């Protein structure tokens, strides 16, 4: 049986790379969705009933697997994003298999536990700064 983390970290959107680009043409579908999300983030913050973004450490940053619209809106609203982190080895092993759905599963933030990121100097990779092996299901 595979085990997946049930924890998240709060990250600034500038530390994350979205999975794909958006067409931000004025009045376009992506633009309107990002505007709606940005307004919501400014007024209420990130809704804890919504799923956390999913990502993994890559080259000293976090590569997101989900949440391009939320990432762009959070960047505009200048809020922190809840990101459920997984190890890059798990992402690589799951790609193209039935396990992939578990890796990118939408889990509401309220169902996850906040994991603190330890400050270090110099900062090692995020894998060493966040214990990604605890609180598994």
pLDDT per position as a tens digit, 46-72? 999 999 999 999 988 999 999 999 999
In a domain, 1, yes or no: no
In a domain, 56, yes or no: yes
Q: Where in the chain does DSSP place strands (E)? A: 7-11, 16-17, 53-58, 61-64, 81-85, 113-114
Looking at the DSSP bridge assignments, the partners of residue 11 are 81
Number of folded domains that form the chain:
1
Give the helix/strand (H/E) hosting 103.
Answer: helix 100-103
In a domain, 91, yes or no: yes
Q: Residue 51 is part of which domain span?
A: 7-129
**DSSP one-letter string for 6-35:** -EEEEE-GGGEE-SS-----TTSHHHHHHH
pLDDT: is 101 or 123 the higher one? Answer: 101
In a domain, 51, yes or no: yes
In a domain, 2, yes or no: no
In a domain, 136, yes or no: no
Q: What pTM value is reported for the model? A: 0.80
CATH number, domain of 124, equals 3.90.1530.10
**CA 12 to mean position of chain CA atoms:** 10
In a domain, 107, yes or no: yes
- Give 135's pLDDT tier (boundaries 50, 70, 90): very low
Tokens 């049986």 correspond to what residue? 1
């Amino acid at each position: 049986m595979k085990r997946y983390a049930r924890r998240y970290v709060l990250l600034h959107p500038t530390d994350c790379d979205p999975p794909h680009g958006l067409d931000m043409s004025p009045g376009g579908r992506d633009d309107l969705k990002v505007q709606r999300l940005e307004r919501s983030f400014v007024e209420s913050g990130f809704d804890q009933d919504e799923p956390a973004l999913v990502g993994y450490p890559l080259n000293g940053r976090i590569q997101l697997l989900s949440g391009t619209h939320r990432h762009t809106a959070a960047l505009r609203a200048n809020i922190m994003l809840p990101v459920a982190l997984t190890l890059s080895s798990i992402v690589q092993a799951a790609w193209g298999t039935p396990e992939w759905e578990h890796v990118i599963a939408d889990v509401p933030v309220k169902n996850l536990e906040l994991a603190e990121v330890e400050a270090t100097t110099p900062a090692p990779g995020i894998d060493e700064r966040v214990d990604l092996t605890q609180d598994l299901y």
